[in-house]
Amino acid sequence: MATWSGIVFLLVVGLLAVDAADPWWKTASFYQIYPRSFKDTNGDGVGDLNGVTEKLEYLKEIGITATWLSPFLKSPMADFGYDIADFKEVDPLFGTMEDFENMVARAKELNVKIILDFVPNHSSDECDWFIRSANGEEKYKDYYIWHPGFVDEDGVRRPPTNWVSVFRGSAWEWNENRQEYYLHQFHKKQPDFNFRNPVVREEMNDVLRFWLGKGVDGFRVDAIYHAFEVEADEDGNYPDEPRNDWTDDPDEYGYTHKIYTVDQPETPHLVYEWRQILEQFQADNGGDERILMVETWSPIEIVMDYYGNSTADGAQIPFNFQLISNLYYDSDAYHYEYLINNWLTLMPEGKSANWVIGNHDKNRVGSRFGADRVDLFNILLLTLPGCSITYNGEELGMLDGYVSWEDTVDPQACNGYEANYMDNSRDPARTPMHWTDDKYAGFTNGSTTWLPVALDYAQRNVKKERGVSLSHLNVYKRLQELRKEPTISGGAGEIKAVSSYVLAVKRSLSGNYVYISLFNIFDSIENVNLSEVFSGLPATFQYTLITDKSIKQVGDVVSAKSVTLMPHESIVLRSTTTV
C-alpha cells in the first residue's frame, strides 16, 4: 500500500520529469511556406490559404512539425505582402479569415504548429495609420518618422539625410499632403514605424495578442534590426551615415555604412517585451509555449543579444544565418566547421541552436552550391543539434527558376537595372512549388501563374520524387525518421573538419548509438579515419542513411578507421554498439 511519503516522492519526480521535458520548438523541424507560391486552389495563379490547408498532410508526410508562413495579410503587394495595410485582416488574394481559421484548426489536428510572419518595422503607405499620419491627425502624427528635410542654397528641397533604402534610392520620400519626408528603409510604399512612440509599440503588442487569440503558435519577426533608427537631436535632425568607399552610386544600399539605421541598442529590448506578451498569453490561456523567430542580418554578437540576457528572455529562435550568409560554393570543410562551432560557442548558456540555409530572399540552395550538394545541406541541417528550418521546395532540391526581366516583379530588382537584375532579384527562389509533372507543376488549375514555373519541374517534383528511392525528398524523409532518435534529437554534438574536403558531425548520448554524418564537399573520392577525428569511438559503424552518390547500402558495416566517400557523397553512420 502506498505511503504518503511515497506518493509525494512520485509526484515530485513526475513534476521534475515534466519540467525537464524539452519544449516542442527545441528540436522541431520547421518549414517556411511562401504562400503565394505554394498551392493555388482558386485558379488565379497565386497560392492561397486553402492551398496551405490542403497541403498540410504533405508537411506531415515529410516530418515537419511547425511551419512559418510569409505574410498573407491585407496588402497592396508592393513587396508581396511585406507591405501590410491591415495587420488584422487576411488579404482576399489569399482567402478569408475563415480560411485562416480552418487552416489553424486542421494544423492543430495534424499537430503542425503555425507561425505567423509579424512585420513590425513598417506598414503599407495604404495602411489607415499612415494615411492619418500623413493627414497630421494628432493621435497618428508620430506613428512614422517624418522630417521636412532641408532647402539648399539653390532653393532645392533635399531629404534629411543620405540614408539609402534596401531597395535602392533615398530612404526618404516626400509626402505632398503632409509637406514632409517620411522614412522608408525598404520600398517607398513601406513607411517605417516610429518605435520611440509608445503608442506604436502598444499597437504592435495588440497585433500580437490578436493573432495569439486566433491560435497561432508564434511569430517570425521580420527585419527586426531596422526597427529603431538613431534618436533625432534636440532640433529633430538625424545624422548622415558615413560613406563606404566601394561605390559612388548614392542610390546603392551599400553607399553608406549602416551605423544609424540598423542594430540600434534598443532593438533587442523590443523583442524582450514581445516575449513577455507571449508568456502572459500562455499564462492566461495555457497551451504549449508560443515562440519568436527573429530575422536579423546582424553581426553574430548582436544576434546573440536577441536570445535575451540575465534579466530578460528574448526570442527562442534568433535565425542563425551564419551558413546562409557566409558559406560559398568554394568554402572548404574548415569554413563550415568554423561557422557552426562559432554559433554554438557564442550562444548563451541554456539556449538552443537553429540552422537556416534557404529562404524566400536568397537563391535556391542547389543554385548557390550546386545541385550535387542539395542532400549535403539537408543532412547537415537535420542532423546538427537544434532545430532545422527548411524553405519550401528545398526538400526536393528545387533550383532557381528562370524569370526574364519582363516577368520580374520583385521590387528589389525592378528598382534597379536590367543589366544586373539577376543579382538582386528574389523571384527565382519564389517560383511556384513543384507538386507534379502536370501543367504548371500541379500548382494551379488556372491558366496563369504569378511567376513562371521553373522549366525543370517535370524532373523535380513531389510526385516523381516520392517514387525514386534515393530522391532528395526520400532522403529528407529518412532524415526526419532519424531525428526521432534520442541521440539526434537531444544528444551532444561535436563538429569537426576531417580535412579541407570532409566535414563530420558526431552526435552522442549516453546509453545510445553514436551517429556520425559525413559530408564530402567536393568532387574527389575521400578516405577518412574517424577514430583519429573523434576520441573513444566504437570500432564499427553501419550505414543508416545513404544518397544517390553512395555505392554502399543501408546496413553495410564499416570500420571507423576507414570510411570511403564518393564525390559529393554525404551519409549518416550509426555505431553498431551503444556507448
Dump strand ranges (E) for 353-491: 354-356, 387-391
| 223 lies in the site for ligand GLC, by CB under 6 A | yes
Do residues 496 and 534 lie in contact, with contact meaning Cβ atoms separated by under 8 Å? yes
CB of 177 to ligand GLC, least distance (A): 24
State which residue, 273 or 361, has the beta carbon closest to ligand GLC: 361
- What's the 3-state SS for 194-215? CCCCHHHHHHHHHHHHHHHHCC
| 87 lies in the site for ligand GLC, by CB under 6 A | no
- Which residues are paired to 438 by β-bridges? none
Q: List the x/- string, 393-432, binding to ligand GLC by CB under 6 A.
A: ----------------------------------------
Q: Residue 303 CA to chain centroid, in angstroms?
A: 14
| 82 lies in the site for ligand GLC, by CB under 6 A | yes
With CB under 6 A as the contact rule, the residue among 186, 228, 253, 369 that binds ligand GLC is 186
Q: What string of DSSP letters covers 54-76?
A: HTHHHHHHTT--EEEE---EE--
| 526 lies in the site for ligand GLC, by CB under 6 A | no
CB of 82 to ligand GLC, least distance (A): 3
280: amino acid identity, one letter:
Q
| 140 lies in the site for ligand GLC, by CB under 6 A | no
CB of 471 to ligand GLC, least distance (A): 29
| 79 lies in the site for ligand GLC, by CB under 6 A | yes
Q: How far apart are the C-alpha atoms of 101 and 103, rounded to whole Å?
A: 5
With CB under 6 A as the contact rule, the residue among 222, 263, 372, 400 that binds ligand GLC is 222
State which residue, 31 or 435, has the beta carbon closest to ligand GLC: 31
The active-site residue out of 91, 217, 222, 395 is: 222
Nearest residue (beta carbon) to ligand GLC: 82
Catalogue the long-range contacts made by 320-329 (C-beta closer than 8 Å, 24 or more residues apart): 320/353, 320/354, 320/355, 320/356, 321/297, 321/356, 323/355, 323/356, 323/357, 323/380, 324/356, 324/357, 324/358, 324/359, 324/362, 325/297, 327/369, 329/368, 329/369, 329/370
The active-site residue out of 91, 117, 295, 400 is: 295
| 212 lies in the site for ligand GLC, by CB under 6 A | no
State which residue, 204 or 502, has the beta carbon closest to ligand GLC: 204
CB of 410 to ligand GLC, least distance (A): 9
**Please, which of residues 239-298 interact with ligand GLC by CB under 6 A?**
295
DSSP 26: G
State which residue, 360 or 552, has the beta carbon closest to ligand GLC: 360
CA distances from 362 to 219, 235, 237 (A): 21, 40, 35
CB of 343 to ligand GLC, least distance (A): 20
Q: How far apart are the C-alpha atoms of 478 and 6, rounded to whole Å?
A: 43
Q: List the x/- string, 102-121, binding to ligand GLC by CB under 6 A.
A: -----------------x--
| 375 lies in the site for ligand GLC, by CB under 6 A | no
CA distances from 185 to 173, 179, 260, 271 (A): 10, 19, 12, 20
Closest by alpha carbon to 551, among 563, 533, 560, 539? 563
Q: How far apart are the C-alpha atoms of 565 and 502, rounded to whole Å?
A: 9
The reply to whether 222 belongs to the active site is yes
State which residue, 416 or 493, has the beta carbon closest to ligand GLC: 416
CB of 516 to ligand GLC, least distance (A): 35
What SS3 class is residue 543?
strand
Query: What is the CB neighbour count within 10 angstroms for residue 404?
Result: 10
- Which residues are paired to 178 by β-bridges? none
State which residue, 121 or 544, has the beta carbon closest to ligand GLC: 121
Count of residues interacting with ligand GLC (CB under 6 A)? 9
| 361 lies in the site for ligand GLC, by CB under 6 A | yes
CB of 36 to ligand GLC, least distance (A): 11
Residues tagged active-site: 222, 295
Binding residues for ligand GLC, per CB under 6 A? 79, 82, 119, 186, 222-223, 295, 360-361
